[in-house]
Structure 1
Amino acid sequence: MTVSEYLKQNTASYHDAAEKLFNSKKIFSKTFTLEDYKKIIRSNYLMLLHSEDKIFKKLNKYSEKLQLSDRMKLPLIEKDLKSLLLKKAVAGSELELTSQHEALGAMYVIEGSTLGGNVIAKQLSKTDGFDGITFNFFGCYHENTGAMWKSFKETLDAEVHENNYDEVLSGAKKLYSFLLNVS
């Protein structure tokens, strides 16, 4: 089993909890509201604010392989905050990542949310009340979303030895828990 498969299997309950928290089912029934969207943007902003820089610093040696400069999302979600007239804030708790393996796990969560975010952006762009909304964060990779996810997963699977799966999982769980608790 690859580390990406291991992560998918062992974070499913966290993923489901996030979908429930953010009322994701409403997206496909076209009952998702602008307030629902603001909640999901605010929470993802706090997650990125408290994690992106820490993740990138820990993964500096993988900078080229992971295309880190192309994966920065904090400036994009800040544009969404501004367009939605939401104020910047900080979370009441801190996120600590103790190793590059934990950072890879945390990045797995963020990159996975980008994959799902692309679907969300497409769906919401067809939903009443979302005219004129720019999906900077959720649409960040545009038509390259699948390729960026595949590239990330391939690097993750190639770089992480089975002995480190639990440490990578720890980082994913930390970031999911942070996201679920800042909402």
Structure 2
Amino acid sequence: MLSDKLKEETKSNHQQLEKVMVGKLRAIRSKEEYADVLKLFYGYFGGLEMEINKVIDASLLPDNADRRKTQSLADDLQSLGAAVPVKASGDDLPVLTSHLQAIGALYVIEGSTLGGKIISKMMQQQLALRDNELTFFTSYGNNTEQMWDAFKDALNYQATNPEQEAVVIAAANQTFLKFGEWFKSRSS
């Protein structure tokens, strides 16, 4: 199954990104620092979602519109009284010119919802945040695993041969790498 291959083939890049993020998240001690991290997510995911929307639609992923994260990030930033930053573009993002590349990028975004459950609890403990300041990390709430499973099911039917699988895997790896670069270059 493609979802299993993706997990294995992106493991190294995923772990590198996770290491940077977890350290940054654990160091957060104020709502302002939390907002700064949300701005990083907003900038990258916002630009990424714009590129994804150019090449994927409901015919390829029926619940595509329900999987957008940019608005919840903007809502959290507004609840925190923080400005919404510009979105990533150009070389800051992976190249997405096909639905297969978009599915690879979505693998990264959708996978983040699983970690979001843990992060939301950590942020709640560290900062006593309100629910309207955690909508991005709480994402699908009690439906997170169901949404992840539905995404993996759709993912597993997108690529029908090894060449197509390689395109999806390469896009996912590029998405992890570019997000890591974005995060590092804009973190203090």
Provide TM-score, normalisation by structure 1.
0.85
Q: State whether residues 47 and 89 of structure 2, in contact with CA within 8 Å, keep that contact through their aligned partners in structure 1.
A: no
Instruction: Please give the secondary structure, in 2, of the residue aligned with 1:22.
Output: helix
CA distance change for structure 1 residues 13 and 40 in 2, over 3 Å: closer, same or farther? farther
Q: Which region of structure 1 is more displaced relative to structure 2, 77-86 or 10-19?
A: 77-86
- Deviation of 1:119 after TM superposition, in Å, equals 1.9
* Stretches of 4+ aligned residues off by more than 4 angstroms: 24-27
- Which of 23, 35, 43 is 1:46 aligned to? 43
CA distance change for structure 1 residues 74 and 92 in 2, over 3 Å: closer, same or farther? closer
In the alignment, what sits opposite 2:11?
Answer: 12
For 1:114 and 1:73, locate their aligned partners in 2 and report how far apart those are by CA, in whole Å. 10
CA distance change for structure 1 residues 36 and 165 in 2, over 3 Å: closer, same or farther? farther
CA distance change for structure 1 residues 57 and 74 in 2, over 3 Å: closer, same or farther? same
Number of residues of Structure 1 aligned to a counterpart in Structure 2: 176
In the alignment, what sits opposite 2:111?
Answer: 112
Letter of the aligned partner of 2:112 in structure 1? S
1:24-48 alpha-carbon deviations (Å, 9 max, x no partner): 5964xxx643465334322211111
User: Matches of residues 40-119 of structure 1 in structure 2 within 5 Å?
Assistant: 40-60=37-57, 61-64=59-62, 67-84=63-80, 85-91=82-88, 93-94=90-91, 95=93, 96-119=95-118
Letter of the aligned partner of 1:171 in structure 2? A
Query: Structure 2: any 5+ residue segments left out of the alignment?
Result: 184-188
For 2:128 and 2:53, locate their aligned partners in 1 and report how far apart those are by CA, in whole Å. 32
RMSD: 2.2
For 1:53 and 1:87, locate their aligned partners in 2 and report how far apart those are by CA, in whole Å. 16
Provide TM-score, normalisation by structure 2.
0.83
1:33 matched to 2:29: yes
Letter of the aligned partner of 1:130 in structure 2? A
Letter of the aligned partner of 1:115 in structure 2? L
For 1:72 and 1:24, locate their aligned partners in 2 and report how far apart those are by CA, in whole Å. 26
Q: State whether residues 121 and 139 of structure 1, in contact with CA within 8 Å, keep that contact through their aligned partners in structure 2.
A: yes
User: Matches of residues 103-182 of structure 1 in structure 2 within 5 Å?
Assistant: 103-125=102-124, 127-132=125-130, 134-163=133-162, 164-182=164-182
For 2:151 and 2:128, locate their aligned partners in 1 and report how far apart those are by CA, in whole Å. 30
1:46-101 alpha-carbon deviations (Å, 9 max, x no partner): 1111111221331123142xx01211111111112223314412447442212111
Query: Structure 1: any 5+ residue segments left out of the alignment?
Result: none
Answer 1 or 2: which has greater helix percent. 2
- Deviation of 1:118 after TM superposition, in Å, equals 1.7
- Deviation of 1:154 after TM superposition, in Å, equals 0.8
For 1:23 and 1:156, locate their aligned partners in 2 and report how far apart those are by CA, in whole Å. 27
Q: State whether residues 43 and 179 of structure 1, in contact with CA within 8 Å, keep that contact through their aligned partners in structure 2.
A: no
